[in-house]
Amino acid sequence: MKLRRVLTTADAAWLVAGNMVGAGIFVTPGLVAAQLPSPVWILLAWLLGGFISLAGAAVYAELGTRLPEAGGDYQYLNAAFGPLWGFLTGWTAFILTFSASTAAMAIASMGYLEQAVPALQELPHGATTAGGALLILVLTAANTAGARVAGRATAAFTAIPVGGLLLLFAVGMLFGGGGDAGHEPAVAEAPSSVGLALGAAMLPIFFTYSGWNAAAYVAGEIRSPGRSLPKALLVGTGLVTILYIAFNAGLLWILPRETLIGSTSAGTAAARALLGPGAERLLSVLIAVAIVGSANVTLMAGARVYYAMAADSLAPRFLSRINRHGVPANALWVGGVWSALLAATGTFSRLLAWATLALLLMSSLAVCTIFVLRARRPGDAPYKCPGYPFTPVAYLAAALLAVGAHAVAEPQEALIGILLVAAGLPAYALVRRVMRRA
């Protein structure tokens, strides 16, 4: 039984938007603002992040139409560089990228729910992580009901908080007390080098934009992927870019410098400034819902990688089984249970550090495959990446600079992440030996 092509262009675009709009945009604006000398530079940095993400989406659009099957990065690396590299990206997806991201988002969602309902803070220590683990298992069960169900759930998890956020700020602007609104925009101290400051600011921006490639992982379930996949990737990423720039412009107008610079809760501070005490609770609920939507897509995408590996005999074959709803239920449960264990035992910052480094490395490797696949089969793609070869080169340069900045900022976490990825080498040898005997 094969995966069912049930996702429309709109479904796939919502998956992209839903995966992108998670915890990042509500946590990182203050961190970015702390690095840059003026509001103009801050907005330019967010615009640059959007352009780089669109460059990556354009590359994945071509790769996904060349290989319109489930698995995304796995399919591209396997086709371009061979099964070892395909296995390593799948191993990394399971051990770090998708699982750690899902766990971190579940923990963050429960944290925002605690802010919205202070009574939850009275629960025993560890309740947040346990709640995060339970949330992942519930989402996993929901995903087994079918790709269309998961896609529609993501649309709701994304549209409700984004719509609520826009309404909340619109009401505040029109009818609220204003708080600190209308003050001189926030300005950080001028750094010795704007270039260095911009480089430091791009790391949290990359994290916030992550998820622009979500639709590529479910290409095997998209109707007419040659036409629908590029539209979904580019439209979803483009709309979120506009949202992020507008959100940051609003924060710069609403909040005073001392509140915005370095803050990890600028969104809730802005809601409080506009509508007074208590508004941040409503925003915390909206943020929690948005993060749930992002975690839902991450679970969905990761399972397609494990499914594709199993179909190629690079993972246990039971992971390739499709249930009556046309989805890889076993792969979903294996990924979901591992993510839940990480949520129950890990910390948000550590999980985030591991996932971010692995994500940048694997997406960079995947982007490299466009050069190989174009050289082998120049005309074998319904969609061609515009601006080739400058578009993939621009993405690679930016991503690798961010990897370097991440390694310098968090050397211990980066080393642990690299060692976990390297553990895939003996794992690959073991899997190949076992699968040959099976």
Domain boundaries, the chain: 9-437
Amino acid identity of residue 398, one-letter, is: A
User: Residue 27's Cα: distance from chain center in Å?
Assistant: 14
Q: List pLDDT tens digits, range 256-307.
A: 777 788 777 777 787 777 777 777 788 888 888 888 988 999 999 999 999 9
Cβ atoms of residues 85 and 365 within 8 Å: yes
The beta-carbon contacts of 404-411 under 8 Å, at least 24 apart in sequence, are 405/199, 405/200, 405/202, 405/203, 406/203, 406/353, 406/356, 406/357, 406/360, 407/357, 409/203, 410/353, 410/357
The fold of the 9-437 domain, in CATH, is Amino acid/polyamine transporter I (1.20.1740)
Query: Is the confidence at residue 319, as pLDDT, over 60?
Result: yes
Q: What is the pTM of this model?
A: 0.88
Give the range with max mean pLDDT: 1-15, 286-300, 324-338, 348-362: 324-338
**Top-confidence residue, 111 or 241:** 241
Coil, strand or helix: which one is 75?
helix
